[in-house]
Amino acid sequence: MDEERFEEIWERAEAEHYGQRLAAEYPAWRARRRRVASMAMLTVAAAGIALPLWQTSIQPVVQEEGYTVAYCNRTDIADQYWANMADELLMNS
């Protein structure tokens, strides 16, 4: 993730009252945000002089299906069942 994306996440987390939880779980979260913000200012100052080097493209590495069920202790459950559960748990937390 590039710094610009991090800045977007930060703003959305703050807007959705998620920021406090992140700060509790990740003590360096706020310090990182300050670092990113000051880097962004430096980038603006350096605009026209140098290209931001971190904006290199990243090739997708995730498989097309988006998951692989490696093991399951029951034979009668479809793989998609588990992928849906992983998605729902993240979405509802």
Partner 1 sequence: MKRLLLIVLLPLALLTGCSHEKKEYSASELYQHYAERENLKVAQVDGFSLSDSVSVEVILMEADDEDAWQQLKEEFNIQGDEGTVSWLGDPDNPAHRTQWTGIPVMRVIASIDKHTIGIYRIDNETQYDAIVDYQLEKTKKGIQ
CB nearer partner 1, residue 16 or residue 49:
16
HSE of 2 in the Cβ direction (CA atoms, 13 Å)? 9
User: Residue 43 CB, nearest distance to partner 1 (Å)?
Assistant: 19
CB of 53 to partner 1, least distance (A): 17
Residue whose CB is less far from partner 1, 45 or 63? 63
Residues 6+ apart with CB under 8 A from 18: 12
CB of 34 to partner 1, least distance (A): 16
> CB under 8 Å to 23, separation ≥6 — which residues?
29, 30
Q: Give whichever of 5 and 34 is closer to partner 1, judged by the CB atom.
A: 5
Instruction: Write out the residues near partner 1 by the rule CB under 8 A.
Output: 1, 5-6, 9, 12-13, 16, 18, 22, 24-28, 58-63, 66-74, 77, 82-83, 85-93
37 exposed, middle or buried (CB, 10 Å; 0-12, 13-18, 19+)? middle
